[in-house]
Each structure stands twice: as structure tokens, then as C-alpha cells.
């Protein structure tokens, strides 16, 4: 499995003088692993935080949500990261853990179709039938129906999905189950499903690479990866009947629509919500944080980082095409972090 690492080495044998307080701070190295969906913003956050706090080094392996949960439960890493929240069964089989939503993002349908630039329009039932191998060619009448004036070629559709256990897949298949009874009763929702067609790529980078190099390809990736790789992506028809382009504003609309439900449990889905400006394949991504870890120094350092991420860090989200958290969700996170011992 391809892994992406974010590592800043630091000599562990020496203390560091904190210029802001004048106190001696002992170096802390915190290891985490999980989702590729938020890896660009996490890379930025960890770099910036290390510059502000040289005594804290955060190493992150972007291995996918499923692997991140597994490594966290095994105790191989101090914190996990996932786009698919842990289930009650997962939580009962590991140390006491809180979920901290960090940002929201869009899962986009990227494509590589000769002569078709950006702005393709896709309805949910069409997307589901492409992934169920019921629509197999780009100039299918149901695709042409919503794309008047677009010169769609008679090119076979090359479907790409995730090969690894993936929170991005969980968000995407949650959406397909919401818009397609056939998908819901068939492959269903999960970090890994029995895909009816297509080839698998490891992580968002692997899927993006397949799309970029394979004519006729379509695949689902986080918006930042589509932009980084200069891939076209579709506007998707939402529950209100509007074709909405994935953007910070349209993901924020989805996050705002769901914020009220997060008071009781932050582990919620924000796919296929109502609202004309809401992008329908949106999701939160979470850090998995131990409530009472043995290494109190690492836990204090991780909590301090999260408090920073909920404040100044949120200002960096939009620059990488993630939606900052609504203030109401930041407040929920702050209360949750207050329970960490």
C-alpha cells in the first residue's frame, strides 16, 4: 500500500526554550495515521504548528480511514484520522475515544473525457448506474439529457474506485445509497464494498492518478486532489433539484444544515441534504483522540494542537479548498476536548 508520510525530525534528547513563556519545553513527537481525504490540510497544519511550537512534532501516515482506525485500535499510533466515524462496536473495543471533526470537504466526481472540459452535470441516479455498470458509454442518453450542448464522445466509461478501506468511499457510498434504492440494496454503504465494476486505486492520490492517465475515466476523490491534479469535476444534482458545483460555499451549506444535529453526536452524515446551494456529496473528517492516554505529555500536546486547529488553524482551510467548521461545531469540539484527562 502506498503511504504518504509527513515527518519533521527533532532531537529528542534536548529541551527547547519557549520564547513566548520563557519556560523549558521537552520535545514531544506524536504519531498518527488515517484518512487521505484531509491529508493536504493536515500537512499544512502540522508544518505551521511545528513552526510556532518547535517542541512538538506530529508525524502523519495517510494510509486510508480503515487502516487508520485499525492502527489506532492496535495502539500503533497515538491518534487516528477517519472520514467514516467509528461505530459503537468500534468504540466499545478500544480505549475511551472522542471524535473531533476538523474540517468538511467535498467528494467530487472527476473525469478524463476528451473534448469535455469542466462543468459536466451528473444526477445521482446516473452516478449510481455508472458505478453499477448500467451506463457504460459517455454519450449515453441519460448523461446527454443533463448536458445539452456538450460534445460527449462514444467513449467507454472507465470506472475508478478506492482499493483500500476508505472514509472517502464511505461518504461516496452513503450518497449512492441515499439516491439509489438499487445501490442501497446491492453494494450498500461502507469503507469497502463489493464494487460491481471498475479498478481500484490506493488512497485519493491513487484514484486521481488513474483518472489523469486513463482516457474515459471517472472516479471519486476529495476536491483538493482534483484541483491539485488539474482534473475536471462534475456539478451534482442535489435533493432540491439544483446542479451544484463542489466548492467551499456549497460544502459549508451542507455543514451548516447539519450543525444542529451534532449536539448529541458528531458522528453524522451530511450527504444528500436539502437546500438549493448544498453540495450533496459532502462529509466531515475526524481525529480520533484518546480520552485518558497513559502518556499525559503527548496527550497535553495533542490537545493543545487541536485547540489551535479549532482557532487559527481554521483560517488555513479555505486556501486548500476545505470548508472551515461552523462556530457551533467548534464549540462542540471545545467542550469535548475539555473532557480529556
pLDDT tens-digit readout, 67-102: 999 999 999 999 999 999 999 999 999 999 999 999
Q: What is the pLDDT of residue 12?
A: 38
Per-residue pLDDT tens digits for 183-225: 999 999 999 999 999 999 999 999 999 999 999 999 999 999 9
167-179 vs 65-74: helix crossing angle, rounded to 10: 130
Half-sphere exposure of residue 323, counting CA atoms within 13 Å on the CB side?
Answer: 29
Q: Tell me the longest C-alpha to C-alpha distance in the chain.
A: 69
If you search the block for the grid coordinates 514531544, which residue do you land on?
28
Task: Read off the pTM.
Answer: 0.90
Report the length, in residues, of the chain: 341
3-state secondary structure of 168: helix
pLDDT band, residue 259 (cuts 50/70/90): confident
Q: Please tell me the distance from the alpha carbon of residue 206 to that of residue 215, in angstroms, as a whole number.
A: 16
Q: What is the pLDDT of residue 241?
A: 96
E strand intervals along the chain: 4-6, 16-17, 24-25, 28-34, 56-62, 79-82, 97-112, 121-122, 158-162, 199-201, 217-222, 232-233, 235-237, 243-244, 282-290
Q: Does residue 169 register a pLDDT over 70? A: yes
d(CA 320, CA 326): 17
pLDDT at 8 over 50: no
> Looking at residue 23, what is its pLDDT?
47
Confidence band, pLDDT 50/70/90 cuts, at residue 260? confident
DSSP letter for each residue of 147-160: -TT----SPBPEEE
Question: pLDDT: is 321 or 1 the higher one?
Answer: 321
Do residues 2 and 69 make contact, with C-beta atoms less than 8 angstroms apart? no
Q: How confident is the model at residue 22 (pLDDT cuts 50, 70, 90)?
A: very low
State the pLDDT confidence band at 25, using cuts at 50, 70 and 90. Answer: low
Mean pLDDT of the chain: 92
First CA to last CA distance, the chain: 35
Average pLDDT on 21-35 reads 78
**Span 6-21, mean pLDDT?**
44
Cα distance between residue 341 and residue 336, in whole Å = 11
Please tell me the number of Cα atoms within 13 Å of 296 on its side-chain side: 1
> Alpha helices of 37-166 — where are they, by DSSP H?
39-52, 65-74, 88-92, 124-131, 141-145
Q: Which of 220, 234, 216 is nearest to 156 (CA)?
A: 216
- Give yes or no for a contact between 237 and 274, defined as CB atoms under 8 angstroms apart: no
* 117 band by pLDDT with thresholds 50, 70 and 90: confident
Residue 209 has a pLDDT of 97
- CA-nearest of 127, 64, 65, 120 to 272 is 127
The secondary structure of residue 91, as a DSSP letter, is: H
Compute the 3-state secondary structure of the chain and give helix, strand, coil in percent, each to the nearest 5.
Answer: 35, 20, 40
Examine the pLDDT at 301 and tell me if it is beyond 80. Answer: yes
Averaged pLDDT, 272-278: 94
Q: Where are the beta strands (DSSP E) in 73-122?
A: 79-82, 97-112, 121-122
- The fraction of the chain above a pLDDT of 70, given in percent, is 93
Q: Kindly state the cell numbers that stand for 299.
A: 496527550
Amino acid at each position: 500500500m502506498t503511504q504518504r508520510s509527513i515527518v519533521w525530525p527533532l532531537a529528542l534528547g534536548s529541551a527547547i526554550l519557549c520564547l513566548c513563556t520563557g519556560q523549558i519545553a521537552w520535545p514531544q513527537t506524536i504519531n498518527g495515521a488515517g484518512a487521505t481525504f484531509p491529508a493536504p490540510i493536515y500537512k499544512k497544519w502540522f508544518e505551521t504548528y511545528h513552526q510556532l511550537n518547535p517542541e512538538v512534532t506530529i508525524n502523519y501516515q495517510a494510509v486510508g480511514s480503515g487502516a487508520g482506525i485499525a492502527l489506532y485500535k492496535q495502539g500503533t499510533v497515538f491518534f487516528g484520522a477517519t472520514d467514516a466515524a467509528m461505530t459503537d462496536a468500534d468504540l466499545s473495543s478500544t480505549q475511551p475515544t472522542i471524535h473531533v471533526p476538523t474540517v468538511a470537504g467535498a467528494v467530487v466526481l472527476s473525469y478524463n473525457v476528451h473534448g469535455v472540459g469542466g462543468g459536466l452535470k451528473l444526477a445521482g441516479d446516473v452516478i449510481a448506474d455508472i458505478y453499477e455498470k448500467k451506463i457504460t458509454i459517455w454519450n449515453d442518453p441519460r448523461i446527454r439529457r443533463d448536458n445539452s450542448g456538450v460534445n460527449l464522445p462514444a467513449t467507454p466509461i472507465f470506472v475508478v474506485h478506492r482499493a483500500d478501506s476508505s472514509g472517502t468511499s464511505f461518504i461516496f457510498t452513503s450518497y449512492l445509497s441515499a439516491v439509489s434504492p438499487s445501490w442501497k440494496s446491492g453494494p450498500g454503504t461502507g469503507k469497502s464494498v463489493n464494487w460491481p465494476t471498475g479498478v481500484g486505486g490506493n488512497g485519493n492520490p491513487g484514484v486521481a492518478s488513474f483518472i489523469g492517465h486513463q482516457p474515459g475515466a471517472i472516479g471519486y476523490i476529495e476536491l483538493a486532489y482534483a484541483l491539485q491534479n488539474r482534473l475536471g469535476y462534475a456539478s451534482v444534482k442535489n435533493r432540491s433539484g439544483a446542479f451544484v458545483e463542489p466548492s467551499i460555499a456549497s460544502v459549508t451549506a451542507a455543514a451548516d444544515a447539519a450543525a444542529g444535529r451534532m449536539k448529541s453526536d458528531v458522528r453524522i452524515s451530511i450527504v444528500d441534504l436539502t437546500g438549493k446551494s448544498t453540495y450533496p456529496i459532502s462529509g466531515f473528517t475526524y481525529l480520533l483522540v484518546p480520552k485518558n492516554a497513559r502518556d499525559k505529555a503527548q496527550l497535553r500536546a495533542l490537545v493543545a494542537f487541536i485547540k489551535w486547529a479549532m482557532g487559527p488553524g481554521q483560517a488555513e482551510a479555505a486556501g486548500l479548498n476545505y470548508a472551515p467548521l461552523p462556530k457551533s461545531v467548534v464549540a462542540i469540539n471545545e467542550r469535548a476536548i475539555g473532557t480529556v484527562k
